[in-house]
Amino acid sequence: MQRLDFYRSPSPGPRPLILFVHGGAWIGGDKSDSTGEAKIRHYTQAGYQLASVNYRLLPEVDIEHQADDVAASLASLLEQARDLNIDTRRVVLMGHSAGAHLAALVATDPRYLKRYGLTPGDIGGVALLDGAAYDVPSQIMDAGPLLGFAYQIAFGSGPARQSSLSPASHTATGNARDFLLLHVERPDAERQAFTFADALESGGTRARVAGVKGRGMEGHNRINAMLGRSDSDATPIVDEWLAGLFGSRAY
């Protein structure tokens, strides 16, 4: 049974929803240690209902099941929209690292949400924090022999499955309506962000890429840990994007 944490905004009336998907290289991580007090305080005070979801991990399941877990969590929240004061017209997926990949996959490949009577078009926006593997084959090539082998364990060595699990392969039609892709100073993360954004825009979907300070894995972890704090470079970028996505009434 999958579990999620729900943090209610003090603002009255139906509120926009942010569903956060944690990272951890598809093999680790947790909804509680990946959300952080800064995100909870910042987004609920800004008028958002915030949820953070766990998903089953490799090798217990494969990545397809992880994406299904995310889709199921979103469907469950929307089914309880009246009780949870969620505005179902204003929904955001947000993910970090592997969670960014899973959020992007659910927001582009319709097979995951279809099972629950939803489509990617039901998602208003997707905010991705220094994600990876938006294009799995190029990620494996960028990673080099050692890390490339780790990606192949997760995604398999077959080109068809790697393509199927690449969000960039599903951008021609029917995506979530708007994407924000943030990256730190990691060359592969930057290349993945721009490759995915180009694919989205070619399919007619709005996509913005923004870089923030922070080198290597320290920066990769910091962008998530700091989001929601006033001294985070990423916080005002995400806030501005959200404001444009839903308008000032979202606040």
Query: Of the candidates 102, 66, 74, which has an alpha carbon nearest to the alpha carbon of residue 18?
Result: 74
pLDDT score, position 110: 98
pLDDT score, position 16: 97
pLDDT score, position 251: 36
The secondary structure of 78-141 as a DSSP string is: HHTHHHHTEEEEEEEEEEETHHHHHHHHHTT-THHHHTTT--GGG--EEEEES---SSHHHHHH
Model confidence over 58-96: pLDDT tens digits?
Answer: 999 999 999 999 999 999 999 999 999 999 999 999 999
Q: Which residues contact 63 (CB under 8 A, 6 or more apart)?
A: 26, 102, 105, 154, 155, 165
Which run of H or of E encompasses 179?
strand 178-185
pLDDT score, position 250: 41
Return d(Cα 244, Cα 121) in angstroms, integer.
18
Model confidence over 15-47: pLDDT tens digits?
Answer: 999 999 999 999 999 998 778 899 999 999 999
Return d(Cα 113, Cα 227) in angstroms, integer.
27
Supply 228's token pair.
């929601």
Q: Which residues of the chain have pLDDT under 70?
A: 1, 145-146, 248-251
pLDDT score, position 35: 85
